[in-house]
Amino acid sequence: MQGQTRLAAGRTDTGGTPFGRSHSLDFLRGLAILGVMAIHVSQSFPSNIHAVDYAFLCGWTGVNVFYFVSAMTMCLMWTQRSEANPTRKFYIRRFLRIAPLFWLAIPVYLFINGTGPSYNAPDGIGPHQIILTATFLHGFWPDSINSVVPGDWSIAAEMMFYLVFPFVIIAFGSRRHLYLALAIVLHLVNVCLFKPLAFALFSAYYGPGHEAFVWNALHISFLNQLPIFLVGCALFFALRDGFARSDAAFLAAFIALSFVADRATGSHEFNYLAINLVLGACVFWCIRLALRLQPIEALGRNSYSMYLSHFAVIYGLHHVWPLADGLASLLLAYVVTAALSYLVARATWHLVERRAQDLAHRLTSPGSIRPAIQPTMAAHATGLR
């Protein structure tokens, strides 16, 4: 609570900052979900034009944009609220925002994809993969990541970030250099110690021929993603309080140390870090320039459900698609996927998400039950969207 008080004392009126409204955050979420859908649509409906397919594959960066926006949104909510038991209420809001729809996705994708062996689950899906996924611990075991729900590695990273976020922001407050310093330390620990050790252990466990599978699982693990969230927290306070030369010095040190560690260990994470820092700069300037576009913002306000549902939409389309692979097929499939995923998202908002958000408000409101919230209000309180 002392950390909450320090933050409240140090902040200015948010109405005069880039975070006075959430339009830019919704815009960024919309861009992120468009990118995520692009890569998965191109995998099922390739254009067979190298430049086009490569451009669509670059949509993987959308997940990382989600991470930056999530960190900024969490910082924004935390610094704007002054309430009793903030950590408990934070957990209630985050859990009810993510869990209900994710739990609904588990049986849906088990029905669609079955439980047999696959790339992400070499020995098939059993009770332990399902239990780990339902408890959001699937990111800590290779054959549980992406095996039950497609793309669930990012959900695991999000939930683990939510778990540690209150402790970090209470300890660090608005001192953004501490977030950057912790990001540097965790990145070096991952590159120099954890990843080599874990790779050896899991490669021995799964046996020869599964090295690429293990390497990919460690790449998308929470420890490798957490520095992105921490940089996002630092960017929030830099936007709120002003960017300084010392921030640039920390980022330069981050790049230099990562480059040295990468060359010394062969972890191949330096390029990933560099791409993420470029993405962070783009996110920073999108918010600084207050970029917005209403259709993309609408997608952003519904991006969590679209993220979970678009895999099923692509699966269904692939089985009935009448066109041969080509540019026209890819572009049309992309538009249809986005439209259908948006419609599914609107349905799940009314059937699932709105009810969960109403419950969160009742559990965290002091003394009275608030009226049902509107979709736009819920979107403003969303980290993953």
The domain limits of the chain are: 2-380
Distance set, CA 333 to CA 57, 232, 327, 336, 367 (Å)? 15, 33, 10, 5, 49
Asked whether 19 and 287 are in contact (CB, 8 A), the reply is yes
Work out the pLDDT band at 83, boundaries 50, 70, 90: confident
Residue 382 confidence (pLDDT):
41
pTM, full prediction: 0.90
Residue 338 confidence (pLDDT):
98
User: Residue range 152-169: average pLDDT?
Assistant: 97
For the chain, what percent of residues have pLDDT higher than 70?
90
Residue 268 confidence (pLDDT):
86
Residue 2 confidence (pLDDT):
43
Question: For residue 240, what are its two tokens?
Answer: 């709120």
Residue 183 confidence (pLDDT):
97
